[in-house]
Structure 1
Amino acid sequence: MIVNMGPHHPSMHGVLRLIVTLDGEDVIDCEPILGYLHRGMEKIAENRTIIQYLPYVTRWDYLATMFTEAITVNGPEQLGNIQVPKRASYIRVIMLELSRIASHLLWLGPFMADIERVEGVGVVDVKEVINWGLSGPMLRASGIQWDLRKVDNYECYEEFHWEVQWQKEGDSLARYLVRIGEMIESIKIIQQALEGLPGGPYENLEIRCFDREKEPEWNEFEYRFISKKSSPSFELPKQELYVRIEAPKGELGIFLIGDQNGFSLEMENSSARFYKFANSSSIS
């Protein structure tokens, strides 16, 4: 029997469609159909300053909005070699870990509502995880201790004491234990950040450019003057850069192209959810 879940379904919120093949009560195949919320974010970014683009990126993942905003500012900061005050970095870590806990809790609610036996269910071994390019809790639940907070040491995570949570069974129970452990570690990080929160400024005003004007192009609207005053921006060098962070669902990254112009932002984003949906048929 074939059952269509979504896009109009209480559990889907209009975001995707799943074509589920059933054999009795067992799911033997699952085909995801994506693209229902496609907005052309990369194209929108070309006509916005970095500050103007921030409200758009929260739509990438409404369960982890702090991470989409963080990667959007971390990329230009690294590309433009912009120094972030230590106080701002600590505040970012606090907000990121609070957002991680919220995302995991929202996953935990539906999981506990339908839970029965999860040990040995949906097993994904190490080889399969690597071949599909999976990341986040699915990667660590299959025996690979890989967390970008430890690997890349972005923001100021190297200043806190915490452990990477991992399991080796690769089943639903292992992924549950990884997420529960990550929430506990997030609380430890937040406590340390609050206790050691440094003083000083929380923003770098010296690198803002308010009076830079963009070269006019044919049939182009000047988005900088949508508001009553011009939006601050940053001048990025002519370089390319891929930046990534550890989001609740896995690796979240963007590929940036600078052009020494503070008003166009060429970028491509990479989300862990896309790779997990591609793997849905193999674990069904």
Structure 2
Amino acid sequence: MQQQVGNRLKPFFENINFEREDNTMVVNFGPQHPSAHGQMRLILELQGEEVVKARPDVGYLHRGMEKMAENMIYNEFLPTTDRMDYIASTSNNYGFALAVEKLLDIQVPRRAEIIRTMLLELNRIISHLFWLATHALDVGAMSVFLYTFREREFAMDLMEDYCGARLTHSAVRIGGVPLDLPSSWCEDLQKYLKILEVEVDKYEGLLTENRIWRMRLENVGIITPELAKSWGVSGVALRGSGIKWDLRREMPYGIYPELDFDIPVATTGDSYGRYKCYMQEIRESIKILRQLVPMYKSSQSELMAHAPEYISAPKEQIMTQNYSLMQHFVLVTQGMRPPKGEIYVATESPKGELGFMIVSDGSPYAYKLKLRAPSFFHTGLLEDLLPGHQLADVVTLIGNLNVVFGEIDR
């Protein structure tokens, strides 16, 4: 019996060369690897420990979100945007809402814009803290992971106080915001910012001059300005290469033109330079949030744009006025009908340029919706970035580029 089994299997092994004269091998990094930050299959050709070729293979998490958007009325799709970059869901909500508002040509009330910007910058802090925690853990720094998640939980408490959710917020509406801030929310925010400012200094005290941290990040993953431009890199990955480009400044939207904040830039182009940009961006978000508190307190009380053709009336009117009730019923069951046209709106999400292109044919459904996700371009960059690095640096670079596959396999 053993001889029969051996004879049957023998042809399968005859063409396999177990003795190789070189050290070249092909390995699959993912899609189940915990440091792949999602369902990415990275095909690596190795010469010993050195990466010779790299090919990112995406599509294992494909959910057809763009096609879903074309089969949902506009308000129905907004909560689905939470599930793209689920670490910074408010930035997705805002980007989609802003694109639809540009298509409708409606103006959002100032108080709503202030609340939106507060949520956006708070969500930026949440996203950057999550990035630092997971990146440090990938490299081997366990303590930083615990400390940053602690401050992230406090920030998520503030989000929960506002909208009732911690991860997928749906805190923005087309035309404004659904709720005003709770009575003590601004005071709680200021207390949190005071704590966070001290803790960020502690994070840098643990990492910035840490010998192992610098050995793992310095001169690793150098993105030249030419390489960044050729791959459409944006966000911190672009600013870490010395290119001062932030859509909040270069293509301003909302109330960002009224705010005083700096754009952190590094000239080294390596992982260490990008790390320093992320840390400084947290401080700039703290600065922005502190400016927004007095702006909020001096603003009027309107939270939604007045556009009966597209936006439901306030709940008080819906419950007391027959016309508002009928109009609300039509908008909920049939959806709004935007004018025919095509629009592309880009915003500065925590990971880079997040853009929504909408083509409208005048129906309640988008004829075409296309999403420009920063993580998609940064994943493609790995093809040119990884060769020449050691296998251990692959984990460092994937974490340092801050990719989330929810917005890649969309």
* TM-score with structure 2 setting the length: 0.62
1:122, distance to aligned residue in structure 2 (A): 0.9
**Which of 264, 268, 274 does residue 169 from structure 1 map onto?**
268
Cα deviation per residue 1:10-48 (whole Å; 9 max; x = unaligned)?
Answer: 234652111233344443432211011211112111221
Inter-CA distance 32–146: structure 2 relative to 1 (3 Å threshold): same
Which residue of the partner structure matches residue 251 of structure 2?
Answer: 152
**Which of 119, 130, 135 does residue 234 from structure 2 map onto?**
135
Quick one: percent identity of the two aligned structures?
A: 38
**Amino acid paired to 1:128:** L
1:274, distance to aligned residue in structure 2 (A): 1.2
Separation in structure 1 between the aligned mates of residue 334 and residue 240 of structure 2, nearest angstrom? 43
**Which of 320, 345, 348 does residue 243 from structure 1 map onto?**
345
The answer on whether the counterparts of 1:237 and 1:260 sit within 8 Å (CA) in structure 2 is yes
Inter-CA distance 139–79: structure 2 relative to 1 (3 Å threshold): same
Structure 2 SS opposite 1:237:
coil
Runs of 4+ in 1 over 4 A off after TM superposition: 208-211
Aligned residue runs from structure 1 range 173-184, under 5 A: 173-184=272-283
Which residue of the partner structure matches residue 276 of structure 1?
Answer: 378
Separation in structure 2 between the aligned mates of residue 44 and residue 177 of structure 1, nearest angstrom? 38
**Amino acid paired to 1:4:** N
Which residue of the partner structure matches residue 191 of structure 1?
Answer: 290
Cα deviation per residue 1:94-146 (whole Å; 9 max; x = unaligned)?
Answer: 11111111111111113223145111111111111111111111111111110
**Which of 97, 101, 109 does residue 133 from structure 2 map onto?**
109
Unmatched segments (≥5 aa) in structure 1: 212-226
Separation in structure 2 between the aligned mates of residue 265 and residue 28 of structure 1, nearest angstrom? 43
Report how many aligned residue pairs link the two structures: 268
Q: Which has the larger radius of gyration?
A: 2
- RMSD of aligned Cα (Å): 2.1
Structure 2 SS opposite 1:269:
strand
Structure 1 SS opposite 2:100:
helix
Unmatched segments (≥5 aa) in structure 2: 1-24, 140-212, 313-328, 387-410
Inter-CA distance 233–191: structure 2 relative to 1 (3 Å threshold): farther
Which residue of the partner structure matches residue 218 of structure 1?
Answer: none
Separation in structure 1 between the aligned mates of residue 108 and residue 93 of structure 2, nearest angstrom? 15
Which residue of the partner structure matches residue 107 of structure 2?
Answer: 83
The answer on whether the counterparts of 1:85 and 1:203 sit within 8 Å (CA) in structure 2 is yes
Which residue of the partner structure matches residue 67 of structure 1?
Answer: 91
Aligned residue runs from structure 1 range 13-28, under 5 A: 14-28=38-52
1:186, distance to aligned residue in structure 2 (A): 0.7
The answer on whether the counterparts of 2:95 and 2:354 sit within 8 Å (CA) in structure 1 is yes
